[in-house]
Amino acid sequence: MDRLPPPSDEFESLRRLLTLKRHEKPPPGFFSDFSDRVLSRIAVEEELRTRSWSTRLADWLQPGRLFAPANALAACGLIFVGAGLYLVLSGPKSHPNTSVVVTQPGPAETRAAGFSVPPPAPPLEQYIVIRLAPTVQPDAETNDIPKDLFTLPRLRSVQGTPAFSPKMVLDHRP
């Protein structure tokens, strides 16, 4: 297996070429703090090693660490329960028209589930009549608006169709 070394001049050119590698050096100052870096790493490793297994076990068994998953699950559960209760309790009350809608015919499964379907939007004319008539009440004592300004005959006379006036919509939309 072992072979005799070749004559020294056989690889002389190669050997001289390889000696050029000796000129490759690290950046200047690299070795000035090299041993300090080594000793720092030794200090860190020693500190890690000197921590006994019981210390590491105690760290691992910290209550916060052990119960972190349980706490996260409990928090998620509380959020879900709270959101569910909010939907169940506050949902119907926030839609006063629900009673009207539920009585309308609709998909059986929707009614069985207790969900309400918002009523279809009324025609614009109906909207104006229904919403403006009871809410817009010109006060003769505080305003100078003529008393007959909002009467239906006058509206009809403007557009020719019952209760439609773009100007009224713009001025008094709730």
Partner 1 sequence: MVAALPMDLPADHAVPAHVPPMDLADRDLVRRAQAGDKSAYDDLVRRYQERVYSTIYHMTSNHEDASDLAQDSFVRAWSALRSFKGDSSFYTWIYRIAVNRTINFLKQRRNRTSHLSLNDLEVGTENDPEMVELVSHKTPRRDAALSELHQRLNAAIQKLSEEHRTVVILHDIQGLPHEEIAQILRCNPGTVRSRLFYARQQLQAWLSDLMK
Q: Residues interacting with partner 1, by CB under 8 A?
A: 1-6, 11, 13-27, 30-31, 34-35, 37-39, 41-42, 45
> Would you say 47 or 148 has its CB closer to partner 1?
47
> Would you say 45 or 171 has its CB closer to partner 1?
45
Contact 149, 139 (CB under 8 A): no
> Would you say 22 or 93 has its CB closer to partner 1?
22
Give least dist CB 52 to partner 1, A: 18
Give least dist CB 66 to partner 1, A: 33
159 burial via Cβ count (<10 Å: 0-12, 13-18, 19+): middle
Phi-psi region of 31 (alpha: psi -120 to 50; beta: other; left: phi over 0): alpha
Burial 121-144 (b: 16+ CB within 10 A, else e): eeeeeeebbeebeeeeeeeeeeee
Give least dist CB 59 to partner 1, A: 23
Rg (CA), the chain: 44
Give least dist CB 67 to partner 1, A: 37
> Would you say 14 or 108 has its CB closer to partner 1?
14
Q: How far apart are CA 164 and CA 170, in angstroms?
A: 11
